[in-house]
Amino acid sequence: MIKFVYLVKRAEHLTFEEFVTYHRERHAPLFKSIPEAAKYVRRYTVSHPVPAEQYPAPGWDAVVEICFDSWADHDAFFTSENYRTVVQPDESTFFVHADISVMVTEERVII
């Protein structure tokens, strides 16, 4: 499985709470709504920081993980008409593309 881990910063016009609400209640369902998500995506998770006084403040507002069985599935999803016209335009309403960091991994479950 190929796993993409995105570190995301919210758009400046949103509070953290507005960002989390939009991400969970608007964007994630929109992502899931396109047929290509069911066909090509094996796992899609969104994680947002919680208060943890013993740790430094995070530099990101979300961690997004998207998993595919293959590069071909990745390409088919991200070049699909539905992704490009439905999901992708929504992204810029709540996060900053220029501030995303991404790591491509091959996930190995240990426990």
Give the model's confidence band at 86: pLDDT under 50 very low, under 70 low, under 90 confident, else very high: very high
pTM value? Answer: 0.89
Token reading at 52: 């943890």
Mean pLDDT of 82-103: 93
The confidence score (pLDDT) of residue 11 equals 94
CA dihedral 9, 76, 33, 95 (to 10 degrees): 10
Q: Three-state DSSP class for 21?
A: helix
Given a cut of 90, whether residue 39 has pLDDT beyond it is yes
- The model's confidence at residue 96, banded by pLDDT at 50, 70 and 90, is confident
Domains and CATH numbers, the chain: 2-106 (3.30.70.100)
